[in-house]
Amino acid sequence: MHRHGYQGRKFHRERDQRRALIKGLADSLVKYESIETTLPKAKEIVPYVEKLITKAKKGDLHNRRQIVASLQTIASAHKLVDEIAPKLGARSSGHLRIVKTSMRRGDNAQLARVSFVDDLGSAPVARAATTAAAASSATVTEGEIVETLKKPAAKKPAATKPAAKEAK
Protein backbone atom coordinates (compact mmCIF):
# COMPACT_ATOMS: atom_id res chain seq x y z
CA MET A 1 0.00 0.00 0.00
CA HIS A 2 1.28 3.46 -0.80
CA ARG A 3 1.99 6.10 1.81
CA HIS A 4 1.38 9.23 -0.30
CA GLY A 5 -0.74 11.94 1.28
CA TYR A 6 -1.20 10.29 4.67
CA GLN A 7 -0.34 12.48 7.61
CA GLY A 8 0.20 11.69 11.26
CA ARG A 9 1.65 8.75 13.11
CA LYS A 10 -0.23 5.55 13.86
CA PHE A 11 1.52 4.50 17.12
CA HIS A 12 0.41 0.88 16.40
CA ARG A 13 -3.12 1.81 17.51
CA GLU A 14 -6.59 1.89 16.01
CA ARG A 15 -8.08 5.27 15.14
CA ASP A 16 -10.21 5.65 18.27
CA GLN A 17 -7.34 4.57 20.52
CA ARG A 18 -5.03 7.05 18.78
CA ARG A 19 -7.52 9.89 19.27
CA ALA A 20 -7.94 8.98 22.93
CA LEU A 21 -4.16 8.97 23.38
CA ILE A 22 -3.79 12.43 21.82
CA LYS A 23 -6.70 13.79 23.89
CA GLY A 24 -5.18 12.38 27.07
CA LEU A 25 -1.74 13.80 26.38
CA ALA A 26 -3.21 17.22 25.51
CA ASP A 27 -5.32 17.17 28.68
CA SER A 28 -2.26 16.34 30.81
CA LEU A 29 -0.23 19.07 29.13
CA VAL A 30 -2.87 21.69 29.91
CA LYS A 31 -3.35 20.38 33.46
CA TYR A 32 0.31 20.09 34.46
CA GLU A 33 1.77 22.63 31.96
CA SER A 34 4.62 20.22 31.18
CA ILE A 35 4.73 16.50 30.37
CA GLU A 36 7.37 13.93 29.46
CA THR A 37 6.56 11.40 26.76
CA THR A 38 8.23 9.73 23.79
CA LEU A 39 9.55 11.96 21.02
CA PRO A 40 7.08 10.85 18.30
CA LYS A 41 4.12 11.41 20.65
CA ALA A 42 5.52 14.82 21.58
CA LYS A 43 5.87 15.77 17.93
CA GLU A 44 2.30 14.67 17.27
CA ILE A 45 0.75 16.54 20.20
CA VAL A 46 2.35 19.95 19.64
CA PRO A 47 0.32 20.96 16.55
CA TYR A 48 -2.83 19.58 18.19
CA VAL A 49 -2.42 21.77 21.29
CA GLU A 50 -1.25 24.78 19.24
CA LYS A 51 -4.58 24.74 17.39
CA LEU A 52 -6.43 24.50 20.71
CA ILE A 53 -4.52 27.52 22.05
CA THR A 54 -5.44 29.52 18.96
CA LYS A 55 -9.10 28.68 19.56
CA ALA A 56 -8.76 29.47 23.26
CA LYS A 57 -7.41 32.95 22.50
CA LYS A 58 -10.65 33.79 20.70
CA GLY A 59 -12.53 32.54 23.74
CA ASP A 60 -16.08 32.74 22.33
CA LEU A 61 -18.68 30.07 23.06
CA HIS A 62 -18.23 28.13 19.83
CA ASN A 63 -14.46 27.83 20.25
CA ARG A 64 -14.84 26.97 23.94
CA ARG A 65 -17.16 24.09 23.01
CA GLN A 66 -14.70 22.85 20.40
CA ILE A 67 -11.95 22.87 23.03
CA VAL A 68 -14.16 20.95 25.47
CA ALA A 69 -14.69 18.35 22.74
CA SER A 70 -10.94 18.16 22.06
CA LEU A 71 -9.82 17.62 25.66
CA GLN A 72 -10.82 14.88 28.10
CA THR A 73 -12.02 17.03 30.99
CA ILE A 74 -14.08 20.19 31.08
CA ALA A 75 -11.88 21.61 33.85
CA SER A 76 -8.82 21.46 31.59
CA ALA A 77 -10.73 23.17 28.79
CA HIS A 78 -11.78 26.01 31.09
CA LYS A 79 -8.23 26.31 32.45
CA LEU A 80 -6.90 26.61 28.90
CA VAL A 81 -9.41 29.32 27.93
CA ASP A 82 -9.55 31.28 31.19
CA GLU A 83 -6.01 31.04 32.60
CA ILE A 84 -3.47 29.93 30.00
CA ALA A 85 -4.64 31.63 26.79
CA PRO A 86 -4.69 35.20 28.21
CA LYS A 87 -1.08 34.76 29.36
CA LEU A 88 -0.05 33.76 25.83
CA GLY A 89 -1.65 36.74 24.12
CA ALA A 90 1.62 38.38 23.09
CA ARG A 91 2.73 35.34 21.06
CA SER A 92 1.00 34.48 17.78
CA SER A 93 2.38 30.94 17.45
CA GLY A 94 5.08 28.66 18.78
CA HIS A 95 3.61 28.35 22.27
CA LEU A 96 5.14 24.93 23.00
CA ARG A 97 8.66 23.57 23.00
CA ILE A 98 10.01 20.04 22.77
CA VAL A 99 13.25 19.22 24.59
CA LYS A 100 14.83 15.78 24.26
CA THR A 101 15.57 14.45 27.73
CA SER A 102 16.87 10.87 27.97
CA MET A 103 16.48 7.35 26.68
CA ARG A 104 13.90 5.16 28.40
CA ARG A 105 15.48 2.31 30.30
CA GLY A 106 13.18 -0.52 29.19
CA ASP A 107 13.12 -0.10 25.42
CA ASN A 108 15.66 2.67 24.80
CA ALA A 109 12.99 5.01 23.40
CA GLN A 110 13.88 8.68 23.09
CA LEU A 111 11.95 10.70 25.71
CA ALA A 112 11.08 14.36 25.35
CA ARG A 113 9.59 17.06 27.55
CA VAL A 114 6.78 19.18 26.11
CA SER A 115 6.21 22.50 27.88
CA PHE A 116 5.03 26.03 27.26
CA VAL A 117 7.65 28.46 25.98
CA ASP A 118 6.47 31.29 28.24
CA ASP A 119 6.61 30.85 31.99
CA LEU A 120 2.92 30.83 32.88
CA GLY A 121 3.54 31.56 36.56
CA SER A 122 5.24 34.90 35.94
CA ALA A 123 3.44 36.04 32.81
CA PRO A 124 2.66 39.78 32.68
CA VAL A 125 -1.07 39.15 32.62
CA ALA A 126 -0.77 36.97 35.69
CA ARG A 127 1.09 39.66 37.63
CA ALA A 128 -1.40 42.34 36.61
CA ALA A 129 -4.31 40.14 37.61
CA THR A 130 -2.84 39.33 41.02
CA THR A 131 -1.97 42.95 41.83
CA ALA A 132 -5.43 44.09 40.76
CA ALA A 133 -7.01 41.39 42.89
CA ALA A 134 -4.85 42.32 45.86
CA ALA A 135 -5.68 46.01 45.49
CA SER A 136 -9.41 45.38 45.19
CA SER A 137 -9.63 43.10 48.21
CA ALA A 138 -9.79 45.05 51.43
CA THR A 139 -9.60 42.09 53.79
CA VAL A 140 -7.20 42.24 56.69
CA THR A 141 -5.41 39.10 57.82
CA GLU A 142 -5.02 38.04 61.43
CA GLY A 143 -1.26 38.56 61.23
CA GLU A 144 -1.71 42.23 60.35
CA ILE A 145 -4.12 42.73 63.25
CA VAL A 146 -1.72 41.10 65.73
CA GLU A 147 1.20 43.25 64.51
CA THR A 148 -0.80 46.46 64.79
CA LEU A 149 -1.85 45.52 68.34
CA LYS A 150 1.76 44.83 69.36
CA LYS A 151 3.05 48.21 68.16
CA PRO A 152 2.75 51.00 70.72
CA ALA A 153 0.61 53.86 69.62
CA ALA A 154 2.71 56.83 68.57
CA LYS A 155 1.86 60.07 70.32
CA LYS A 156 0.81 62.85 68.07
CA PRO A 157 2.40 66.22 68.71
CA ALA A 158 0.01 68.84 70.01
CA ALA A 159 -1.32 70.93 67.20
CA THR A 160 -0.46 74.60 67.55
CA LYS A 161 -2.21 77.41 65.85
CA PRO A 162 0.45 79.96 65.01
CA ALA A 163 -1.86 81.78 62.63
CA ALA A 164 -4.39 82.41 65.39
CA LYS A 165 -1.73 83.84 67.75
CA GLU A 166 -0.35 86.17 65.12
CA ALA A 167 -3.79 87.55 64.35
CA LYS A 168 -4.17 88.90 67.91
pLDDT tens digits for range 118-142? 888 876 654 444 444 444 444 555 5
Residue 136 belongs to a domain: no
CB 25 within 8 A of CB 34: no
Residue 165 belongs to a domain: no
d(CA 94, CA 77): 20
Answer yes or no: is pLDDT of 4 > 80. yes
Residue 53 belongs to a domain: yes
Residue range 76-83: mean pLDDT, rounded: 96
- Please provide the DSSP assignment of 17-29 as one string: HHHHHHHHHHHHH
Alpha helices in 3-140 (DSSP H): 15-32, 39-58, 61-70, 74-79, 85-87, 124-136
Answer yes or no: is pLDDT of 86 > 90. yes
Residue 8 belongs to a domain: no
Residue range 30-53: mean pLDDT, rounded: 97
Residue 69 belongs to a domain: yes
Count up the domains in the chain and report the number.
1
Interior CA angle at 52 toward 30 and 69, to 5°? 85
Residue 62 belongs to a domain: yes
Instruction: Output the pTM of the full model.
Output: 0.71
Mean pLDDT computed over every residue of the chain: 84
What CATH number is given to the structural domain containing 42?
3.90.1030.10
Q: What is the pLDDT of residue 119?
A: 85
Domain span including residue 88: 15-127
Residue 158 belongs to a domain: no
Residue 154 belongs to a domain: no
